[in-house]
Amino acid sequence: MTPLNEVLSDPEMSRDDRVRVFRRTIHGIQAFEGMEVDAYSVITDRHLIILDTMLCPEDVAAMIQSVSTELSGRSLLCIDSHADWDHSWGNCYFSGEHSAPIIAHDHCFTRIQSREAHQELRDFQQLSSTFKNVFLTNPTITFDQSLTIHDSQITIELLHAPGHHLDQIVAWIPGIRLLLAFDAAEYPLPLIENADCVPFMFSTIERLIALQPQRVLCSHGKTTSPDVLKQNLAYMREIERRCKILLQKRLPAAKDLDNIPELINYSINEVVGETKQTIDHTFYSWAHKNNCQAIFKWLINTL
């Protein structure tokens, strides 16, 4: 792996030289210290495509520098998988002299424009100088269900994949059976936005499994195996099963919702098992509790 400021390239993650993987490790932000996020470039005959822009314009500049020899004769495109701060705050690189189209889901545009997003940026700028040059930059091309980028050698299908967030998309490259899942799937477990997104998350993972990808890359977790999709689905179904057992016995009080993993006897240690890969137990313990609460509330709402 070759260091590029705060960004590393990881050639082992992709078997096709047209698809390149970049990893940003977060430092200096206590709550996220050591967290990693991946972004990608895809080189087609006509385009150099950057998929996700990480934390800041400097991250994008590092990616562009790494693939600069591929720019000649190609137009630059950007794709946002969704509006989360660690995926889209480098969008501002694609303004001014570096202007290029930014493609995303319709709701990504709404999220980036929101007051909440602007307040979140102000909060992060107080925490770290990493964000000093960030200004929120909207997508310029949006879609609802799907959008296809055609090329003579490689075609990219952008598919709406809600669940983690309503604006989440994936990039499916059928010619090499590669799925860039971003945050639609994750190792060791996914993160569901809220109870309303639970049925979307189930259907999204099922649709991604049906694509029968040979390789799946996620934004977090450094996984390449398509098994991550089935593992994510089995994990969510197990939460659903255990929540249903609890509801058959009793309806917990609202004050007990914070302890849903304990109430359904499904600890984070059982979820991750004996994995040899280093994971952020603090974050994934929180994510697991969030998922249990979301699925439990969804089941309550369907009663």
DSSP conformation letters of the chain: -EEETTEEE-GGG-SSTTEEEEEEE--S-GGGTT-EEEEEEEE-SSEEEEE--BSSHHHHHHHHHHTGGG-TT-EEEEE-S---HHHHTTGGGGSGGG---EEEEHHHHHHHHSHHHHHHHHHHHHH-GGGTT------SEEESSEEEE--SS--EEEEE--SSSTT-EEEEEGGGTEEEEETSS-SS------GGGHHHHHHHHHHHHHT--SEEEESSS----THHHHHHHHHHHHHHHHHHHHHHH----GGGGGGHHHHTT--HHHHHTT--S---HHHHHHHHHHHHHHHHHHHHHH-
226 part of a folded domain: no
Domain count, the chain: 1
41 part of a folded domain: yes
For residue 5, pLDDT over 50 is answered with no
141 part of a folded domain: yes
58 part of a folded domain: yes
Q: What is the domain extent for residue 140?
A: 2-184
Q: What is the CATH number of the domain that holds 78?
A: 3.60.15.10
222 part of a folded domain: no
Q: What is the pLDDT of residues 247-268, one digit of tens each?
A: 999 888 878 888 999 999 999 9
For residue 72, pLDDT over 90 is answered with yes
238 part of a folded domain: no
122 part of a folded domain: yes
Q: What is the pLDDT of residues 115-169, one digit of tens each?
A: 999 999 999 999 999 999 999 999 999 999 999 999 988 999 999 999 999 999 9
| Predicted confidence band of residue 28 (pLDDT cuts 50, 70, 90) | confident
Lowest mean pLDDT among 7-11, 91-95, 197-201, 237-241: 7-11
81 part of a folded domain: yes
pLDDT, mean over the chain: 94
For residue 105, pLDDT over 90 is answered with yes
pTM score over 0.85: yes
